[in-house]
A and B are shown apart, each in its own frame.
Chain A
């Protein structure tokens, strides 16, 4: 089943000379983990925020399980879509449990159900519930905070998860742990994930499919192996090269540094 489809989506910000998102059309299968790869300004975040209507497209249609999201109340639409960002955005005056309870509380779950769900999610993101549920964000490391951010987004069991460079500000070792955990969580509960990153390695490692974007357009949308083996054009090829450091190494050889 198609979870999410973009039909000719266009977004141009006021005062800009080019489209931030330029006639994007694509279908995303239910349960797929799609990474969106691009440099800053490529439109990847704009594309992501169109899904939960934080940004409204100027043209085109976006459908969630066949239904035009324009017809949905944005507040209610968002209850079914998890949202995680790089700055994490945990509420500093609320405990870990209260942060995770945000959407369940809006949905009026009873306290016992919320408590059980919070503990279940903390265990899922590898944080000991007894130790962490009562803590405030200031008492957590960056990696622990983003684990809670992930748990909070998963709280009401959304069908779609939007993640905007969620591990971008986390140190390399923690990032690699979090990536592995995300893959394992995705394996356990097959939700549809859209994961924005500018890190080529991360996009290839996590993505069941990778969406390469440049200047608002889709350059390639394919399985990671296909992207590596058969880049659609020079742009994608250069992007892959830059990540593996091949070019730098070649350049280094030429001037005799290495």
Chain B
């Protein structure tokens, strides 16, 4: 197939099947965001908990360290006999994939706050809740966000595999392209996934930089 032919085919695809394409993108983003959200809901509290003591930390990070080693495709396939196919097992598998980076970063962020900072806060008469919300949480936020960034980019890439068990998304294009030996579909699917991943990384990096502006000694005073 000539290059010109391939580009024509891609253009043709966007002309005739743009609705299918947009739906696949929307589905892909939806699965990724829901999985990342679940991972945050599970990973952040567990991370805060494991920052409290070394025993509990070893236990929690040990468990999720194992999940990290298992390839996401394996988790996907392991889910099928238990929950069947469709979006649910895909979400579970992707969430498990996304939890470790969020959990590990949250643990490090909260455990890394210097003891003397907490002690001065206590010494001034700040309650534990106040210290948590006005000191610990905002100081940890940039590192937690970096963990979320890693998780989101991983999930967007891996969500491609989720269509393998019927969850939809851009993976559909890629698997169809593989099945029909259609280079145009492969390219559209692959490049789209890469673009989504890079954009998510870019957006979250911007947010991260905003959060740590105070570390820069040269910022304009207000």
A and B physically associate: yes
B119, B124, B130, B222 pick with most chain A CB within 10 angstroms: B124
Give the Cβ gap from A165 to chain B, nearest Cβ, in Å: 12
State the CA gap A94–B139 with chains docked (Å): 10
State the CA gap A235–B219 with chains docked (Å): 51
Give the Cβ gap from A181 to chain B, nearest Cβ, in Å: 20
State the CA gap A88–B114 with chains docked (Å): 12
B214 at the interface (CB under 8 A from A): yes
B219: A residues at CB distance < 8 A: 136, 139
A88: B residues at CB distance < 8 A: 120
A93 at the interface (CB under 8 A from B): yes
State the CA gap A42–B121 with chains docked (Å): 25
Given contacts A83-B123, A103-B124, contact A134 B221 (CB under 8 A): yes
A5 at the interface (CB under 8 A from B): no
A102 at the interface (CB under 8 A from B): yes
Given contacts A78-B125, A102-B124, contact A91 B217 (CB under 8 A): no
Q: In chain B, residues 105-129, which have Cβ atoms closer than 8 Å to a Cβ of chain A?
A: 114, 116-117, 119-127
A250 at the interface (CB under 8 A from B): no
A94: B residues at CB distance < 8 A: 214
State the CA gap A153–B124 with chains docked (Å): 8
How many residue pairs, one in A and one in B, have C-beta atoms under 8 Å apart?
73
| B116: contacting residue among A87, A93, A131, CB under 8 A | A87
A2: B residues at CB distance < 8 A: none
State the CA gap A54–B126 with chains docked (Å): 12
Cross-chain contact A93 with B120 (CB below 8 angstroms) = no
| B135: contacting residue among A79, A81, A91, A138, CB under 8 A | A91
A132 and chain B: residue at smallest CB distance: B221
| B122: contacting residue among A54, A92, A139, CB under 8 A | A54
| A139: contacting residue among B116, B120, B217, CB under 8 A | B217
**B-contacting residues of A (Cβ < 8 Å)?**
52, 54, 74-79, 81, 83, 85, 87-89, 91-95, 102-103, 106, 131, 134-139, 152-153, 162
| B119: contacting residue among A54, A93, A95, CB under 8 A | A54
Those 6 A-B pairs whose CB atoms lie nearest each other, nearest first: A78-B125, A89-B120, A83-B123, A134-B221, A87-B116, A79-B125
Cross-chain contact B125 with A136 (CB below 8 angstroms) = no
Cross-chain contact A52 with B221 (CB below 8 angstroms) = no
| A78: contacting residue among B114, B116, B117, B123, CB under 8 A | B123
B62 at the interface (CB under 8 A from A): no
State the CA gap A92–B134 with chains docked (Å): 11
A81: B residues at CB distance < 8 A: 123, 125
Give the Cβ gap from B212 to chain A, nearest Cβ, in Å: 9
B138: A residues at CB distance < 8 A: 93
Give the Cβ gap from B138 to chain A, nearest Cβ, in Å: 5
Given contacts A106-B130, A134-B221, contact A92 B215 (CB under 8 A): yes
State the CA gap A52–B117 with chains docked (Å): 16
| B127: contacting residue among A52, A75, A136, A153, CB under 8 A | A75
State the CA gap A85–B117 with chains docked (Å): 10
Cross-chain contact A77 with B221 (CB below 8 angstroms) = no
A153: B residues at CB distance < 8 A: 124
Give the Cβ gap from B56 to chain A, nearest Cβ, in Å: 21
